Amino acid sequence: MRWSYRIFRVFDIDVRVHATFFFIVAYFAYAWGTAREPGGIYGAFYGVVLVLLLFALVVMHELTHSLVARSFGVGVRDITLLPIGGMAVMDEMPTEPREELLVAVAGPMSNVVVGVVMAALAPLLIDASLFGDFGRLSDALLAPGFQGAYLYLLFVNLMLAVFNLLPAFPMDGGRVFRSLLAMRMGRAKATRVAVGVGQVLAVALGVLGVFGGGILMVVVAVFIFFGAQAEGKGDEMKGVLEDLRVAQAVNVGVETARPEQSIGELAARLFHTYQADFPVVSHDGSVLGVVTRDRLISLLGQHGPEFPVSEAMRVDVPTGGLTDSVYDVFQRMQSSGSRVMPIVEQGRFVGMVSLEDIGEVFALLSATGPEFAERVPREPR
């Protein structure tokens, strides 16, 4: 994910923090430094420590998901911390309902386990009489100090488990709900039902937020609504594109660039083609990188038209093969932040696939039905 930075690595999984995460840190520092006693520097510092401990629970939650997914052979690239929580980036969720159920429920169950342990230890570490007086408990929870932090983390940890088990995508509960439905009605129909339920729930949360629940509830409702929509769209794309081979969708009529050329030469081509990105190919046919339209225009302004293509190209663009699934290629393009993928056969460039190409193929097959792909030749022409 762009604007995210690695902070440490655990179990061979990078834990990253997104730049926007610091907004939540700043908010906690402000809230505890101004709105609550004793405030000041001590309060701000306490707020920062509290939010970092809270997100340690989030890392544990996502790490549990990741380790269970890995046990089923799913690759886990990283965990990214965002202001609204954490996100484990996996190659894809297991499609077998039982496996998806176990992966989805693992995160909330880790919070439940920690919550039970913290509750069991509470009488030894804090004033246990607080649990019999709601008013005193509320005051203690918001009071800076060890006891307040312990109660706050205990409460929020259990709320994380409850919140994540809401039956709405992209929450864990939405995946649990979908996997249970899929055992009876198939994945495609189960996804449609789960998406619909999630969006109804999101609308209900949004209404509650407008009429007294607060702006945070409205933000969560919007997140759930569009997250459910994206989940449904992604599952639909997988169903349509998974069996389509790259050889059936590759664009072989692609203009290429040489590393010794100048970016001015490429810029001149933009006047006569709709092609936005140029694969850079060596004389032996191997792919060296890609020059994107945006980077081309930016470098023209910075360095002029004589700047060499070899220094302008992006070299971290993944490549694909003709027998790859179009859906797999689409996922790899998204995870790498690239809108194009050069396609190679026996180490030589044969064509390119772009997000626009995939979008057009998806639209065609959605309109005609996936079986229409059988009419498309399996060898590029």
Decide: residue 169, CB within 10 A, 0-12 exposed, 13-18 middle, 19+ buried.
buried
Amino acid 66: pLDDT: 92
Contact 108, 161 (CB under 8 A): yes
Amino acid 67: pLDDT: 93
Neighbours of 359 (CB within 10 A): 12
Residue 354 pairs in a beta bridge with: 340
- Domain-by-domain residue ranges, the chain? 1-165, 167-236, 246-375
282-302 mean pLDDT = 91
Cα(118)–Cα(111) distance, integer angstroms: 10
What dotted CATH number matches 246-375?
3.10.580.10
Amino acid 167: pLDDT: 86
Cα(79)–Cα(63) distance, integer angstroms: 8
Residue 252 makes CB contacts below 8 A (sequence gap 6+) with 350, 351, 380, 381
Cα(105)–Cα(171) distance, integer angstroms: 10
Concatenating the DSSP letter of every residue in 110-152 gives HHHHHHHHHHHHHHHHS-GGGGG-HHHHHHHHTSSSHHHHHHH
Please check the confidence at residue 210 and state whether its pLDDT lies above 90: no
Which helix (H) or strand (E) covers residue 315, if one does?
none
Q: Which of 2-16, 50-64, 120-134 has the highest mean pLDDT?
A: 50-64
Cα(120)–Cα(112) distance, integer angstroms: 12
How confident is residue 1, by pLDDT bands cut at 50, 70 and 90?
Answer: low
Contact 270, 261 (CB under 8 A): no
Cα(87)–Cα(13) distance, integer angstroms: 12
Neighbours of 154 (CB within 10 A): 19
Please check the confidence at residue 216 and state whether its pLDDT lies above 90: no
Cα(316)–Cα(335) distance, integer angstroms: 12
Indicate if the alpha-carbon torsion angle 105, 150, 129, 163 is positive or negative: negative
145-171 mean pLDDT = 87
45-99 tens-digit pLDDT: 988 999 999 999 999 999 999 999 999 888 888 888 887 778 888 877 777 889 9
Concatenating the DSSP letter of every residue in 59-109 gives HHHHHHHHHHHHHTT--EEEEEEETTEEEEEES---SSHHHHHHHHHHHHH
Amino acid 261: pLDDT: 92
Residue 219 tokens, joined: 């933000």
Edge-to-edge strand order for the sheet containing 85-90?
4-10, 13-18, 76-82, 85-90
pTM above 0.85, yes or no: no
Cα(256)–Cα(336) distance, integer angstroms: 21
Contact 252, 329 (CB under 8 A): no
301-324 tens-digit pLDDT: 889 999 999 999 998 888 999 999
Q: Which of 22-36, 38-52, 72-86, 338-352 has the highest mean pLDDT?
A: 338-352
Counting every residue written for the chain, the total comes to 381
